[in-house]
A and B are shown apart, each in its own frame.
Chain A
Amino acid sequence: MWKRKYRSGQLGYHLMMAPGMIFLIIFSFVPMFGIVMAFQDYVPAKGILGSQWVGLTNFEYMLQIPDSWNILRNTVLIALGKIIFGTIVPIVFALLLNEIRLKWAKRSIQTIVYLPNFLSWAVVAAIVINVFDYHGPINSFLQAFGHQPIMFLASNDWFRTVIIGSDVWKNFGYGAIVYLAALTGIDPGLYEASSIDGANRFQQLLHVTFPGILPTIMLISALNLGNILNAGFDQIYALYNPIVYETGDVIDTYVYRVGLLGQQYSFATAIGLLKSVVSFTLLIAANKLSIKFANLRIF
């Protein structure tokens, strides 16, 4: 009887969780066995069991070439930039939008800015390429003020900025929705009380609104930390070229190019393993820090 009750109560939840778990097992746990390839000279026909064992050769070579440090640096910088600006911009936008009194304006702005989120990078990249083209609108604008045109997508000074900027542009509208929802959850009584105390709009924003959504901000940032080394393969792949390998090549694009196109499966696995090790370290550190300073456990 007890057993039956337990089952009928839990089965539904387990079923709901099942697709996610299956996904996780197939795409995250099973491939982990493939790490063995990093220590082999992997030949697909011979398989993992038949390929020759080469020990640390791939890792030695990884340390030998300057590319490794370069792509690691690019990955961290681009990912950090995306996390930082991808958090600040939606918050500021949500706060500003919240101050608009015209309901229809608020709604239509919100809808318009979150549209790009639904386009794939292949499409957005075409837009970005046109906008930042040598003869594109941005350069025409610069030229009107007497600047020399800039090749944004072929310039190591600008490439990361364009990548982070376009990513923020694409996603901030969607990100803002969460904060807008959090804003509606703030007790209107607090605003009334503060206005009776003589607070102006800006002071209300600073002392009522912002503290009200702080827990949401912390939660979203903590969740974003999991992506610290995912700098966005599809975006960068669609926008980069050999000139900006120096500043734009990240671990994922490198692994794709060298491993799948260059067919160096073992070497690419070794680089991929580097990514796992670094992001593992960063995550543990972030968790420790957030427990210590914010008293918030990520896991």
Chain B
Amino acid sequence: MKKFLTLFAAVLMLLSVLSGCKMGSNQSSNSKSVASPQELKPFGKYKKTVTYTIGKATPGIPKLPKGQTYEDNAYTKYLKDTLNIQSKDKFEAQTGDPYDQKVSMAVASGDLPDIMAVNADTLRQLVANDSIADLTDVYKSSASDFIKAKYNSYNGRALKAATFDGKLMALPSTQNANIPTMLWIRQDWLDKLGLKAPKTVDDMEKVLTAFVKKDPGNNGKGNTVGLALSKSVGGNYGSLFVADNIFATYNSFPRQWIKQNGKVVYGSTTNETKQGLSKLADWYKKGLIDPQMAVRDSIESLIISGQAGAFFGPWWSGDYPLNSAIKKNPKANWKPYIISKNGDGKITAYTQNPVSEFYVVRKGFKHPELLPKIASAINDKLVREDKNYKPVVDFVRGGYDGGKPLNVMINFNDATAQMYKDLKATVDGKKDPKSLSLDDSTSYNNIENYLKNPKNPDPNAWSGYTSRIVAGKLMANTPIKEVNPVFFDQTKSMKLKWANLVKLEDETFLKIVTGQKSVNDFGTFVKQWKSTGGTQITQEVVQAIKEK
């Protein structure tokens, strides 16, 4: 018996060791495509249905039409019809932290979906791990010319971000200009209280105070939130719920590597950032910022429920999350305004990498060309040649969201400004509505619907008009003094130390704003930031910039 047990244990251990080895070795198998030359073409249809697994990032507010699923909807049907391919979701998780966690788990376990979206850090990790496919050849063979032209409008900067040692390792989603972010505010509350729209930070304080004190939304005493704010407070480019606009009035650019007086500094550690934080802390103390911001799970629901009076967000806030807010309460009239330092409407804002996220293909997947083909189908064929494809048209017109298996978005550098110009020209009758792309023609219909009945608009009509005409105009007409960060990459020491520095930063910012730490502790934070790796990393960044 003893012998048997020993043997048993030995076999078990052997098995576990072997399975460990297997995981390591199957990743190095080559990833040459098995597709025929015809199938390699951007819009070549496969003879046999190709099934691929994805990591599906779902929208924060689920909005699929009844009867459709993430694996079976207008977009997957379109891809099935045109390319004969079908997606299967290896995992589904909400965009943001939940999705990033799923990706991290997939990377750690080595069990990747065939195609998924990752951030810049994870991309580097995957390249170092040698677990994703080289896309150089399939990009050449299977991306359409129009897609290539779109990428090229960034003068090579977009694809360079995904290129390692001359090999293209991912297809990035492009990030066309999303600044300035605006202050979105409840116009109906302003009107009810007889207030003017705020122009400066001080105006804003008065408005928020009135909102919280007078409760124009009848939420009950103490239930009205002035400004909805994210836990990360600031420094996330073009996102919802961060206070970058306020920081910028102090010339503070948190989380960005910037040049200040000729020296490279990390924006979160500057004295200007301290001033920005102290303003927010002051507001929090006065009750103008969501008192539960630290434990708030869904800021969207705060806005949809009608408890919040204001938030910062980019031009598309009219679509998300405000479309749902209007559906819930058609009287909630949200309007965007520009907050500037002295009320002249001129603002300072930082620019960003032209890419936001990266789409990668698992090494060993037999059809690496699928990624450029899907990207081309969604961003080229569907929006131009097939823009009248009925299921997708219905999907888009219905204001639904989250259908595309891969959210890879490839736009021209000046896409937002161009969109506003096109739509404005069409509305003014200077451009033929038929010449618009699918998205734009949908927006145009919404805008037309809104203009026909501005008193009592349909939520989608309201969103289309507010995002693309009202906010679009602000975007096109606001003069911006651009601050260009000098470094977007990662240095050697960041690998070990950056995560902890970010944690320190998040924790300190949140504590200062919520008054758990005094603003005077900012100095301690900077000291600690420097001593636990910040100084060393700053030197490496300076070095890396020199070598560029």
Contact = CB atoms under 8 A, between A and B. Distances in A.
Interface of A: 6-7, 10-11, 14, 22, 25-26, 30, 43-47, 57-58, 61, 64-67, 129, 133-135, 151, 153-156, 241-243, 245-246, 257-258, 260-265, 267
A153 B295 contact: yes
B528 interface: yes
A25 B507 contact: no
Contact of B532 (A65, A156, A257, A260): A65
Contact of B121 (A58, A134, A156, A263): A263
The SS class assigned to the B binding surface is helix
B27 A45 contact: yes
Given A243-B511, A245-B503, A61 B223 contact: no
Given A26-B16, A243-B514, A267-B496, A45 B130 contact: yes
Contacts of B268: none
A260 B24 CA distance: 18
A137 to B, nearest CB: 15
- Interface size on B, as a range, is 35 or more
Contact of B507 (A26, A44, A245): A245
B124 to A, nearest CB: 10
Given A66-B528, A154-B514, A243-B514, A43 B128 contact: yes
B294 A154 contact: yes
A262 B295 contact: no
Contacts of A44: 107-108, 110, 129, 131
B499 A30 contact: no
Contacts of A267: 496
B292 interface: yes
Nearest to A14: B1
Contacts of B222: 135
Interface stretch (B98-106, B136-144, B324-332): B98-106
Interface in B499-545: 499-500, 503, 506-507, 510-511, 514, 516, 528, 532
Contacts of A6: 1
B48 interface: no
B484 to A, nearest CB: 28
Given A43-B128, A135-B223, A260 B1 contact: no
B340 interface: no
Contacts of B294: 151, 154, 241-243
B47 interface: no
A232 to B, nearest CB: 19
A133 B297 CA distance: 12
B500 A67 contact: yes
Contact of A151 (B122, B129, B291, B507): B291
A31 to B, nearest CB: 9
Contacts of A26: 12, 16
Given A151-B295, A243-B507, A260-B108, 8 more contacts: A25-B9, A43-B128, A44-B108, A46-B129, A129-B295, A151-B294, A260-B104, A263-B125
A242 B122 contact: no
A241 B292 contact: no
The 8 closest A-B pairs by CB, nearest first: A262-B499, A45-B129, A154-B294, A47-B24, A45-B130, A243-B294, A261-B104, A30-B16
Nearest to A259: B108
Nearest to B128: A43
Nearest to A44: B129
Given A67-B500, A243-B510, A267-B496, A30 B129 contact: no
Contacts of B101: 261
A61 B499 CA distance: 13
25 contacts: A6-B1, A25-B9, A25-B12, A26-B12, A30-B13, A43-B129, A44-B108, A44-B129, A46-B129, A66-B532, A67-B500, A134-B291, A135-B222, A151-B294, A154-B292, A156-B516, A242-B294, A243-B510, A245-B503, A246-B507, A257-B503, A262-B499, A263-B121, A263-B122, A265-B108
